[in-house]
Chain A
Amino acid sequence: DVKVTQSSRYLVKRTGEKVFLECVQDMDHENMFWYRQDPGLGLRLIYFSYDVKMKEKGDIPEGYSVSREKKERFSLILESASTNQTSMYLCASTPGTSDSDTQYFGPGTRLTVL
């Protein structure tokens, strides 16, 4: 069975802290994605990666960075958390490079920045 796991379900951080969100997939998928989900805005793509050590900016990369040192792991980093980064963060993976591939999502991390 396909599985995407995220390191935390809930996180509370203070403004200015460095925050790491980890995502691991066990399906040997090539592609991994980080989205943030806010009410009424759907899912917005932050960063994605098509290969190890490769990253591409999504629609809203400002204030975020990513790391993909191993194929199965894709990390999202908030260098200096701000209150407007309070959101639900979803990680996803897909097997190939087709846009119509199924996206397999983790359960999400709800981040609150105080």
Chain B
Amino acid sequence: TQLLEQSPQFLSIQEGENLTVYCNSSSVFSSLQWYRQEPGEGPVLLVTVVTGGEVKKLKRLTFQFGDARKDSSLHITAAQPGDTGLYLCAGASYNTDKLIFGTGTRLQVFP
């Protein structure tokens, strides 16, 4: 079974701090997506990365796909309370036709 491990599982920080969330696997993925889920809602896509080493920026969020396409990171600069939520990575596998979701990182940003 393919696994996508995210770390940390929980993160509680003050507004203005920086943070990084990691998504790791022993499997290679053709692409990787990051979703954010707010309380009471379903996950919403933030970004898709498809090329090894690719870096994408979405305002204060920076996403990187590992060179070997086995891992990814999400860096948030100057976190704000509106960034609070559950962050999920999801990998598209070469071996199956399904998306594999990570274990999730719950972020709480306090004012």
Q: Are A102 and B101 in contact (CB under 8 A)?
A: no
Contacts of B48 in A (CB 8 A): 100, 102
Among A59, A99, A107, the one with the most B-chain Cβ atoms within 10 Å of its Cβ is: A99
CA distance A49 to B45 in the complex (A): 21
Given contacts A42-B103, A42-B104, A43-B88, contact A97 B42 (CB under 8 A): no
Q: Are A40 and B98 in contact (CB under 8 A)?
A: no
Q: Are A100 and B30 in contact (CB under 8 A)?
A: yes
Contacts of A35 in B (CB 8 A): 101
Contacts of B35 in A (CB 8 A): 103
CA distance A89 to B49 in the complex (A): 27
Chain A nearest Cβ from B106, distance in angstroms: 9
Q: Are B97 and A40 in contact (CB under 8 A)?
A: no
CA distance A45 to B99 in the complex (A): 9
Which listed residue (B1, B50, B104) contacts A100, Cβ 8 A? B50
Chain A, interface SS category: loop
Q: Which residue of B lies closest to A40 (CB)?
A: B103
Q: Are B30 and A99 in contact (CB under 8 A)?
A: yes
Contacts of A61 in B (CB 8 A): none
Chain A nearest Cβ from B37, distance in angstroms: 8
Q: Residue-by-residue, is A1-12 near B (CB-CB < 8 Å gives 1, otherwise 0)?
A: 000100001000
Contacts of B90 in A (CB 8 A): 43, 103
CA distance A44 to B33 in the complex (A): 16
Q: Which residue of A lies closest to B32 (CB)?
A: A100
Q: Are A40 and B88 in contact (CB under 8 A)?
A: no
Q: Residue-by-residue, is B1-29 near A (CB-CB < 8 Å gives 1, otherwise 0)?
A: 10010100100000000000000000000
